[in-house]
Structure 1
Amino acid sequence: MAGHEKHLPADSPEEEYDYESLPPNFSLAANMVAGAFAGIAEHSVMYPIDLLKTRMQVVNPTPAAMYSGLGNAIATISRVEGYMSLWRGLSSVVVGAGPAHAVYFATYEAVKQAMGGNASGHHPLAAATSGACATIASDAFMNPFDVIKQRMQVHGSTYRSITECARTTFRNEGLRAFYVSYPTTLTMTVPFTALQFTAYESLTKLMQNQRKPGYDPLTHCTAGGLAGGFAAAATTPLDVVKTLLQTRGVSSDPEIRLARGLVSAASIIWRREGAKGFFRGMKARVVAAAPSTAICWSAYEVAKSYFIRVENEK
């Protein structure tokens, strides 16, 4: 990550590396542990807002599942379904997020290192490419868990566990149900992560230049939050399409149940709600993404900083 440089001896043939960046010989296992820690922390803390976002994005919801805003949604769900229902489906995220984020950050660091992104200076192209490669790898693992999560989040879901939801989905719809949204997910998450990583790297560079030397968690928290909120707002239309595809199996609407991919799902939204339909739940998505991304980057940088310190003390 961006930050203050850790200077090598003057006669060293290697390039200087940023203070928080992983050294070239850094342990892959430590990198993956840092990523898993970041993923679980990110998703667990902001999960209720993610549930609200899913419900607000559902096309043609039942009257009981129509909310006028975030505050109304929280109050209604807590009163009717119980406060703990805001965490329904969390186990799917915890099980999937750790390994998926381990793959995510391991890929990110490997590609960034290969492209020279850890060398001193500003490298937005390396950051964007690293983010895109990371999301392609991690989403292949995470997509089935995301499908299960959203099916447990929708209003009226009767699933009691992730295994029950997985078995029922597979029995009724086959393996395809877990990946029907994968192309749409990539269409959304590749630009999302490219935007997020570029903004994060740029903001971190700018903020570190204005602060005293040394590791500064506040910089990563602020830069991560701003980058995540910006990227979330920009990619909301594709997230709405993804939600329709991932929850189609629990919909009572025949047309939605037959949606086959990005184009057919987008046409349903456009025909029924117009352009505004693609921005359902944007406020909830930004509210969830900004702090969750801040938590994710902060947790990742803290873990990385710890492992680097241990490595340097050897």
Structure 2
Amino acid sequence: MKDENAQEASTSGSNIYYSLRGALAGPVAGVCSRFITYPPDTIKARLQIQGASPGGGPARYSGTWNAVAQIARQEGLHGFYRGFGAVALGSVPANMAYFGGYESAKSLVPAEWGMAGDMAVGAAAQLVAGVVFTPIDIIKERLQVAPLMAGAYSYSGPLQAAQELVRANGPLGLLKGYWATNAVWLPWNILFIAFYEASKRAAAGSGTSSGNNSGGRTGSAVAGEAEAGPEAASSSSTSSSRTSSSQARDEELSPVVLALCSAGSASLAGLLTHPADVVKTRLQVLSACEAHARVTAWSLAKQMWAKEGARVFMTGVGARILQLAPGTALSWVIYEPVKRFLSPPER
């Protein structure tokens, strides 16, 4: 009985530790990646909203590179970083929530669940982080597309934008589009984590490693640990086996391989979820206008289909991939080493 209690206490302590480790390492990775990839995110938001901007008339930008040229010429560097203050201020709690949720779920989901377990981890991370990310997303996107809104609103900065949201709609105004946001990022995270973990297992199984295999342990051996299933689980806690085998596998993989796994997974997940992202962006931005104050994601999607056709749902996909692929790669390449650095020394 004492052994069982000790094991339960140890498992509980490990779960708390993994959550805290993710919460500490996440913000470091998040702030660095968002600064690098914010300009493509601004371009993506403007391309997605221009077909519905109150100013009407022809689209201002003909495509991604035309948007880059016009913003650079007319607004300079500041134009690409509109609303970044909201992201910088909110990035720490948002990434603490996301990576803390990711590590918590990873330590709790049984290893034998396989890819279904990876999908559950991705869903848990997003559900925890969505409450923090949504207000940041709304403020960021309204500031990003302000030049296209024909004076429908004018904010001096992130703080005023937040105050206006609360004044107009109450505190819940900060969560406008929460479910629309999750309609994008919940499936994106489910797909991304599943693709990412699967690609890391494949890379480890092929022997693609950092070359620092201690004690002759190869990538395939680590992959074998990750997929040992119930037999391995019977000798230790199934919840912790997913985390420990994943950590061992990550230590075997070089930063280049981790970057390729995360960038490829993010791009594929982004492509599959892009239509929902277009609707989400318009909902969060247009709700600031009186004429669209009560619009829903479904009614907005039907209006877009009728007015602009099916192609509108892929507007800005190139800019989104340009933002997602390097941003996600940078986040995880920074996150994994920082997470290892925060690990306790081996005894």
Please give the TM-score of this superposition, normalised by the length of structure 1: 0.84
Question: Aligned letter for 2:159?
Answer: T
1:271-309 deviation line (CA, Å, top 9, x unaligned)? 11121111111111111111111111111112112112x
- Quote the Cα distance in structure 1 between the aligned partners of 2:16 and 2:139: 37
Partner of 2:62: 68
Question: Structure 1: 5+ residue runs without aligned partners?
Answer: 1-12, 14-22
Equivalence map 1:146-157=2 (5 Å)? 146-156=137-147
Q: Is 177-186 or 156-165 further displaced after alignment? A: 156-165
- Quote the Cα distance in structure 1 between the aligned partners of 2:139 and 2:42: 12
2:320 equivalent to 1:285: yes
Tell me which of 243, 265, 268 is aligned to 1:230: 268
Partner of 1:82: 76
- Alpha-carbon contact 1:240-1:279 (below 8 Å) kept: yes
Partner of 2:177: 181
- Taking only aligned residues, the RMSD between alpha carbons, in angstroms, comes to 2.4
Partner of 1:272: 307
2:106 equivalent to 1:112: yes
Partner of 1:41: 32
Structure ID, larger Rg: 2
2:236 equivalent to 1:201: no
Question: Aligned letter for 2:190?
Answer: A
Partner of 2:223: none
Q: Secondary structure at the match of 2:309?
A: helix
- Quote the Cα distance in structure 2 between the aligned partners of 1:250 and 1:313: 54
How far 1:24 sits from its partner (Å)? 5.7
Q: Is 39-48 or 223-232 further displaced after alignment? A: 39-48
How far 1:29 sits from its partner (Å)? 2.9
The structure-2 alpha-carbon separation of the partners of 1:29 and 1:280, relative to structure 1 and needing over 3 Å to count, comes to same
- Alpha-carbon contact 2:21-2:100 (below 8 Å) kept: no
1:192-247 deviation line (CA, Å, top 9, x unaligned)? 00100000001111112222433421121110000001111110111011111110
- Alpha-carbon contact 2:98-2:126 (below 8 Å) kept: yes
How far 1:50 sits from its partner (Å)? 0.1
Tell me which of 17, 21, 24 is aligned to 1:30: 21
The structure-2 alpha-carbon separation of the partners of 1:122 and 1:183, relative to structure 1 and needing over 3 Å to count, comes to closer
- Quote the Cα distance in structure 1 between the aligned partners of 2:40 and 2:201: 30
How far 1:267 sits from its partner (Å)? 1.4
- Quote the Cα distance in structure 1 between the aligned partners of 2:18 and 2:102: 14
- Quote the Cα distance in structure 2 between the aligned partners of 1:180 and 1:293: 25
- Report the count of equivalent residues: 287
How far 1:94 sits from its partner (Å)? 1.3
- Quote the Cα distance in structure 2 between the aligned partners of 1:125 and 1:70: 36
How far 1:26 sits from its partner (Å)? 3.5
Please give the TM-score of this superposition, normalised by the length of structure 2: 0.77
Q: Secondary structure at the match of 1:312?
A: coil
How far 1:81 sits from its partner (Å)? 1.6
- Alpha-carbon contact 1:259-1:265 (below 8 Å) kept: no
2:255 equivalent to 1:217: yes
- Quote the Cα distance in structure 2 between the aligned partners of 1:96 and 1:25: 23
Equivalence map 1:298-309=2 (5 Å)? 298-308=333-343
How far 1:172 sits from its partner (Å)? 2.9
Question: Aligned letter for 2:185?
Answer: T
Question: Aligned letter for 1:77?
Answer: I
Question: Aligned letter for 1:38?
Answer: A
- Quote the Cα distance in structure 1 between the aligned partners of 2:156 and 2:265: 35
Partner of 1:8: none
- Quote the Cα distance in structure 2 between the aligned partners of 1:25 and 1:143: 25
- Alpha-carbon contact 1:150-1:247 (below 8 Å) kept: yes
Question: Structure 2: 5+ residue runs without aligned partners?
Answer: 1-6, 8-13, 214-251
How far 1:80 sits from its partner (Å)? 1.1
Tell me which of 22, 32, 41 is aligned to 1:50: 41
- Alpha-carbon contact 1:43-1:292 (below 8 Å) kept: yes
Tell me which of 277, 284, 295 is aligned to 1:260: 295
Question: Aligned letter for 1:60?
Answer: A
Higher helix share: 2
